[in-house]
Amino acid sequence: MTRQPWRGVTRFFSRAAGRRIERRSRPRDVLARSRHPLGRRDTSFGVATCDGPRVSAILRLGDPRLRAIARPVDLAAPEFPEAVARLHRALADFRAEHGFGRAIAAPQLGIDLRLVAMNLGDGPRTLVNPEIVRHSDETFTLWDDCMCFPELLVRVRRWTSISIKSLDEEGRLHLRERLPRNESELLQHELDHLDGVLAVDRADGPDAIVTRVDHDREPGRYATMVDR
């Protein structure tokens, strides 16, 4: 089955907004405009810059760069430290503005690297070239969100537990086995980004894409529609 529900998301959200938007519209027109002030663009990383401090612009649903498969990280590359800094800065800024956000993948900033920044409350953590090496047979459904379309929630199905290997910023190998459900689903989301896959591509069943406003208006009803 070919999954292209993100096209339906464009039409669905456009009707809610009371206007028609063509598929070829620029990403900022597909969903609500970003609040980040954008200036000239750094084409090497796809991160916007301003005359003042740099700000990291998270790409919006519909941007073709979100569909690219990221390349492996070269730890010796001179741009690597700045890419890590931009990721962690973007995560912190998003959390401050929206009140949620546990991790971000480099392609969400238009950075073509297999790189993830996380903060689960225990401080910043960087995953370099992460890879799932094991997963459970058991799965579950949940309402997933994404920084690239924070106005929406998507019901997806994820493995209940995964084991993952990655490098840190110093090149040390880390193997984290049988991760708990919350961290497992989060990392599955982020690693999907590294392969150009979005949560809307994994929409599970009918009525699987809802606005956050509708969800928050009736949280009890929507909670019965997922396993957690």
- 97 counts as catalytic: no
Helix ranges (H only) for the chain are 5-17, 27-30, 80-98, 181-194, 212-217, 219-223
CB 108 within 8 A of CB 147: yes
d(CA 3, CA 55): 33
SS3 84: helix
Largest CA distance in the chain: 51
Of 37, 90, 26, the residue nearest 63 (C-alpha): 26
Catalytic residue among 22, 151, 183, 190: 190
| Edge-to-edge order in the sheet of strand 152-159 | 139-144, 152-159, 209-211
Cβ atoms 107, 196 nearer than 8 A: yes
| Cα dihedral 63→209→207→24 (10° resolution) | -20
Residue 146 counted as an annotated binding residue: yes
56 vs 221: CA distance, rounded Å: 36
189 annotated binding-site participant: yes
Joined tokens for residue 191: 């690693």
Annotated binding site for Fe cation: 146, 189, 193
Catalytic residues: 190
Annotated binding site: 146, 189, 193
